Amino acid sequence: MADRTIRVLLVDDHQVVRRGLRTFLEVQDDIEVVGEAGDGDEGVARAEELKPDVVLMDVKMPGTDGIEALRKLRDLSNPARVLIVTSFTEQRTVVPALRAGASGYVYKDVDPEALARAIRSVHAGHVLLQPEVAGALLSQDEPGNGTGRGGSLTEREKEVLGLIADGRSNREIARALVLSEKTVKTHVSNILMKLDLADRTQAALWAVRHGLTN
């Protein structure tokens, strides 16, 4: 059992889907569903109200979709980690979602136990970046997303950045490099500042594009 219950908000325009997710997640000892929302705007409002640890967000919703809701949460500096729910036919939406601040994604037909693991993973600070998405990002390198600024990183910061791209949490990075978590947090902050990036998800994407993954 985890040290603390993971508070999850469900955002999906289909009530049946939300009910199914809630039914499964509520039997997990370390996960609590604290609320639901039927569209992106309601999801943003509920996330601000309830302060969940993880938001499970559908992409395709009427009105404000999941990607726009992600941008609004980022603009509000909401600390919730967002796990996007998508389908195989919506793969093209995954890259924009990651660029908007998502910590990862799962497919709608995901095995229930795999969903629980994904929620635990993003809550722990991991970035769920699968190979096919990494390939898409490599082919969509965009100027202005830290491109060309890697020379300002120290060797230690490059090590930290590579481990972020490998999906490691701050605690795991600290163990791997024999550092304190506080020192790792300082390195992460410096990396984001030097590369002009918003969060560690964008940092992971930058590392993939620039060959800093292991």
What percent of the chain shows pLDDT beyond 70?
85
| pLDDT band of 52, cuts 50, 70, 90 | very high
Higher pLDDT pick, 75 / 147: 75
Q: Is the pTM of this model over 0.75?
A: no
For the stretch 70-94, pLDDT in tens is 999 988 888 899 999 887 666 677 7
- Band (157; pLDDT cuts 50, 70, 90): very high
Rounded CA gap, 128 and 106, in Å?
A: 9
Give the tens place of pLDDT for each residue, 1-11: 445 899 999 99
61, 63, 106, 111: which is closest to 81 by C-alpha? 106
The band of 173, judged by pLDDT with boundaries at 50, 70 and 90, is: very high
List CB contacts of 169: < 8 A, sequence separation 6 or more.
124, 125, 126
Predicted confidence (pLDDT) per residue in 91-128, tens digit: 677 778 887 888 888 888 888 888 999 999 899 888 77
